[in-house]
Amino acid sequence: MQTHPLQPFFQQAVRNSYEGKLGLHDPDVTEYVAHLLCDFSESGKLYSMRDEAGRPIEDLEAMMYAADPVLGPAASFDEERALRKHIGDYALFVAGMYPEAAGSSRRLRRHHPSLDELIRAGKQSYYIVSQFNLFEYEREAPLFARLSGSFERCTLGLTLVREQLAQRKPLPPPPLLN
Q: Which tens digits make up the pLDDT trace of 8-29? A: 999 999 999 999 999 999 999 9
Q: Is the pLDDT of residue 1 over 90?
A: no
- pLDDT of 178 reads 45
Cα distance between residue 144 and residue 133, in whole Å? 10
Q: How confident is the model at residue 3 (pLDDT cuts 50, 70, 90)?
A: confident
Q: Tell me the mean pLDDT in the region 167-175.
A: 67
H-assigned helices in 69-150:
77-97, 115-130, 141-149
The rounded mean pLDDT for the chain is: 90
By the 8 A CB rule, do 14 and 38 touch?
no
- pLDDT of 176 reads 56
By the 8 A CB rule, do 94 and 101 touch?
yes
Q: Tell me the mean pLDDT in the region 126-148.
A: 97
Q: DSSP code of 76?
A: S
Q: Is the pLDDT of residue 105 over 80?
A: no
Report the predicted TM-score, pTM, of the whole model to 2 decimal places.
0.89
Q: Tell me the mean pLDDT in the region 97-116.
A: 71
By the 8 A CB rule, do 129 and 81 touch?
yes
- pLDDT of 108 reads 46
pLDDT digits (tens, 9 = 90+) for 37-89: 999 999 889 999 998 899 999 999 999 999 999 999 999 999 999 999 999 99
3-state secondary structure labels for all residues of 18-45:
HHHHCCCCCHHHHHHHHHHHHHHCCCCC
Contact partners, residue 117, CB within 8 Å, separation at least 6: 60, 102, 109
